[in-house]
């Protein structure tokens, strides 16, 4: 049997940092990707597992819910679901017949020579069949309010345990047990950079022959660090950033944060507004400036009739200790030069 394992779709989630039109575009793309996943990619799978957090909250637009279940209907074959902590209050009504919720009222589902279980009331497991468990929770962090001790389930002899809740792909093997997080299907912010997708599982005669992550082609979040130390103009910085973005295989369709680092000469006319305008063809890019102006204290001390020179003298003749003196001098010079303070 070929199984497609996904989790943590968080449909309806908002990224408040993005402009509304970008948020709306991402929501529409999520649904389009769901339809593509279920109707196109899903063709080669016998069943789809959804391991919780399907919706981000109980208040989800009706159109979004209907669109998702239309994708489920198009798949036609069983879609098995267990509750997540985000959608535990969501009331499922008018769902397609092939969308099977595993809970205390429906603890397992048999399909061909497989039995799929939720975590409620596990008993009388037929070990002659292929058994798969769906779980939503954190099996590693005991401080997580959704922590789940996986060890009792490992003793029951499941061929595969499909996990949800952790948004990063993780695969485990302990003895004969194979279990995995598929990670979130979609990225919801810059703390979830990189490829997102699903896990392809193939089980035959009680043997897991494949457990492989497959990226789903879509926009992704990416963080790019760029050192501007050698640039002379804002145009140089823009060109350098674009080269770095290209070098990392990031697309102008992606959602990008650029972090400026390094130190620059005070003669550099660094304009963040002009720099931002240089990326107008990109879907979304934000620029975080952590670069600092070069400060040559010895050069400044040699200047005559200079506020900077006077300020340095006052600080050096104060009762502050050495490390603090250097920090105060750096901050003061930044202020006198009109720079944002590096506090």
Query: What is the structure's pLDDT at 98?
Result: 96
Q: Is the pLDDT of residue 340 over 60?
A: no
What letter would DSSP give residue 182? -
**pLDDT score for 317:** 80
Torsion angle in degrees (nearest 10) through CA of 317, 321, 327, 329: 0
CA 269, 235, 286, 32: dihedral to nearest 10 degrees?
170
**Model confidence pLDDT, tens digit, residues 134-165:** 999 999 999 988 999 999 999 898 999 999 99
Sign of CA dihedral 281, 282, 285, 287: negative
Contact (Cβ atoms closer than 8 angstroms) between residue 289 and residue 340: yes
pLDDT band at 299 (very low <50, low <70, confident <90, very high): low
Token output for 327: 């920090």
**Dihedral (C-alpha) 333, 335, 338, 340: value to the nearest 10 degrees?**
110
Domains present along the chain, CATH in parentheses: 2-215 (3.60.21.10), 221-336 (no CATH)
Check residue 56 and give its pLDDT: 79
Eight-class DSSP state of 238: H
pLDDT bucket at 336, cuts 50 / 70 / 90: low
pTM of the model: 0.84
pLDDT digits (tens, 9 = 90+) for 213-252: 999 989 999 999 999 999 999 999 999 999 999 999 999 9
Q: Which token pair is 138?
A: 């954190």
Token digits of residue 170:
């993780």
Contacts 24+ apart (CB under 8 A), 31-34: 31/64, 31/67, 31/68, 31/71, 33/185, 33/186, 33/216, 33/218, 34/9, 34/67, 34/68, 34/71
Residue 208: which residues within 8 A CB-CB, separation 6 or more? 159, 160, 178, 201, 202
């Amino acid at each position: 049997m070929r199984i497609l394992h996904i989790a943590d779709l968080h449909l309806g989630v908002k990224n408040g940092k993005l402009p509304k039109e970008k948020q709306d575009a991402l929501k529409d793309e999520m649904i389009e990707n769901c339809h593509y996943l279920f109707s196109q990619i899903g063709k080669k799978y016998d069943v789809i597992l959804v391991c919780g957090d399907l919706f981000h909250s109980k208040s989800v637009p009706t159109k979004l819910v209907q669109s998702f279940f239309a994708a489920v209907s198009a798949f036609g074959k069983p879609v098995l679901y267990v509750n997540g902590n985000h959608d535990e209050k969501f009331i499922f009504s008018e769902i397609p017949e092939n969308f099977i919720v595993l809970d205390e009222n429906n603890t397992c589902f048999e399909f061909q020579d497989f039995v799929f279980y939720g975590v409620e009331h596990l008993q009388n497991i037929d070990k002659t069949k292929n058994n798969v468990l769906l779980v939503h929770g954190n099996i590693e962090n005991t401080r997580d309010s959704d922590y789940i001790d996986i060890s009792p389930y490992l003793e029951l002899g499941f061929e595969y345990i499909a996990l949800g809740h952790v948004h990063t792909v993780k695969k485990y093997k302990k003895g004969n047990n194979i279990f995995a997080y598929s990670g979130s299907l979609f990225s919801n912010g810059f703390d979830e950079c990189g490829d997102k997708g699903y896990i392809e599982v193939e089980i035959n005669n009680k043997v897991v022959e494949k457990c492989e992550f497959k990226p789903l082609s879509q926009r992704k979040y990416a963080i790019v660090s760029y050192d501007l130390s050698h640039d002379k103009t804002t145009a140089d910085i823009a060109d350098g950033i674009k080269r770095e973005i290209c070098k990392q295989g990031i697309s102008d369709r992606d959602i990008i944060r650029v972090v400026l680092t390094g130190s620059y000469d005070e003669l550099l006319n660094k304009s963040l507004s002009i720099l931002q305008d240089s990326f107008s063809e990109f879907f979304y890019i934000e620029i975080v400036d952590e670069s600092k102006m070069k400060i040559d204290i010895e050069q400044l001390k040699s200047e005559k009739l200079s506020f900077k020179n006077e300020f340095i003298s006052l600080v050096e003749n104060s009762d502050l200790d050495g490390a603090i003196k250097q920090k105060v001098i750096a901050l003061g010079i930044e202020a006198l030069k009109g720079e944002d303070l590096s506090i």
